[in-house]
Amino acid sequence: MADWSLTDKLCNASASGKILEVLDLLQKGADVNGFNTYKRTALQVGGADPNIRDPVLALTVTHDAAREGFVDAVRALVQHGADVNLVDEKGNLPLHLAAREGHLEVVRLLIGHTANPRTCNGLGFTAGQLARQHRRMDTAEFIEAHLG
């Protein structure tokens, strides 16, 4: 870890929920909006812009948090201005990624904030279809019931 940049360390500490380490790294000059080695930004720390996209797949931290099922992070991002209606380079909303992975609590949160939860991604699949296709039946059934 000695060879890691401050931004890499900040992203690692953010993802791990190590708040004191995050604060220490910010005080040492880590760029809260900087990209780490994997072209990702720190999760909503110290005023980071939650809508900055990584240059590889056009993902926002909300996409990453939704895909990984970090419901508390998604909630905080939404509360701090994250736009859940931004799509990645494949046309996926954060809702698509959460549904595909079967993260029901994240889907419950996002579905009410997504302008059109019936939106198809770049491959023509809705969040509900992705959930069903990946055998996330509880998630698929919730989406179908919610959308009627």
Regarding the domain delimited by 1-48, which CATH topology (the fold level of the hierarchy) does it fall under?
1.25.40
Task: Tell me the per-residue pLDDT of 117-138, one tens digit each, with 9 for 90 and over.
Answer: 999 999 999 999 999 999 999 9
Q: What is the SS3 assignment for 145?
A: helix
Task: Tell me the per-residue pLDDT of 7-62, one tens digit each, with 9 for 90 and over.
Answer: 888 888 887 777 788 888 888 888 777 777 777 666 544 556 789 888 888 999 89
DSSP string, 94-109: HHHHHHHHT-HHHHHH
CB within 8 Å of 88: residues ≥ 6 apart: 53, 57, 58, 59, 60, 63
**Nearest-angstrom CA–CA distance, 116 and 93:** 10
What's the CATH number of domain 49-148, 3.40.50.2300, 3.30.450.40, 1.25.40.20, 1.20.1440.230?
Answer: 1.25.40.20
